[in-house]
Chain A
Amino acid sequence: MSDTPTKTMNMIEAINSAMDVMLTRDPEVVVLGEDVGYFGGVFRATAGLQKKHGKTRVFDTPITECGIIGVGVGMAAYGLRPVPEIQFADYIYPGLDQLVSEAARMRYRSAGDFICPMTVRSPFGGGIFGGQTHSQSPESLFTHICGIKTVIPATPYDAKGLLIAAIEDNDPVVFFEPKRIYNGPFTGYYDRPVEPWSKHEGSAVPEGHYRIELGKASVVREGQAVTVLTYGTMVHVVKAVVEEHGIDAEIIDLRTLLPLDIETIEASVKKTGRCMVVHEATRTSGFGAELAAQVQERCFFHLEAPIERVTGFDTPYPHSLEWAYFPGPVRLARAFDKIMKDPS
Chain B
Amino acid sequence: MAQRPKDNLAPLHLHVPEPKFRPGDKPDFSDVFVPPVDVIARPDEAVIPADIHNLAYGLVRVLGDDNEATGSWNPGLDADKLRLMLRKMLTLRAFDDRMFRAQRQGKTSFYMKSYGEEATSVATTMALQRDDMCFPSYRQQGILVTRDYPLIEMMNQIYSNRGDKLKGRQLPIMYSAKDYGFFSVSGNLTTQYPQAVGWAMASASRGDTRIAAVWCGDGSTAEGDFHSALTFAAVYNAPVIFQVVNNQWAISSFSGFAGSERTTFAARAIGYGIAGLRVDGNDVLAVYAAMEWAANRARTNNGPTLIEYFTYRGEGHSTSDDPNAYRPAEEYAEWPLGDPVDRLKAHLIALGEWDEERHLALATELSDEVKAIQKEAEKNGILGHGLHHSFETMFEDVFEDMPWHLKEQCEQVLEEQRDKFGSEWKAQ
Contact = CB atoms under 8 A, between A and B. Distances in A.
Contacts, number: 143
Interface residues of A, number: 47
Interface string B185-206: 0111001011111111111010
Interface string A112-139: 1111000000000000000000000000
A80 to B, nearest CB: 5
A78 B167 CA distance: 23
Contacts of B36: none
Contacts of B135: 74
Interface string A85-127: 0000000001001100110001111111111000000000000
A80 B404 CA distance: 28
B188 A97 contact: yes
A71 B170 CA distance: 23
Given A110-B166, A260-B405, A101 B198 contact: no
Contacts of B205: 30, 56-57
Contacts of B170: 109
A262 interface: yes
Contacts of B203: 78
Interface residues of B, number: 45
A101 B188 contact: yes
A292 interface: no
Contact of B403 (A57, A75, A259): A259
A66 interface: yes
B165 A71 contact: no
Given A75-B201, A78-B198, A101-B186, A111 B228 contact: no
Given A113-B176, A170-B400, A70 B194 contact: yes
B399 interface: yes
A46 to B, nearest CB: 17
A48 interface: no
A215 B403 contact: yes
A64 B403 CA distance: 33
A70 B228 contact: yes
A67 interface: yes
A62 B195 contact: no
B232 interface: yes
Interface in B197-230: 197-203, 205, 212, 224-225, 227-229
Interface of B: 133, 135, 165-167, 169-170, 174, 176-178, 183-184, 186-188, 191, 193-203, 205, 212, 224-225, 227-229, 231-232, 235, 397-400, 403-405
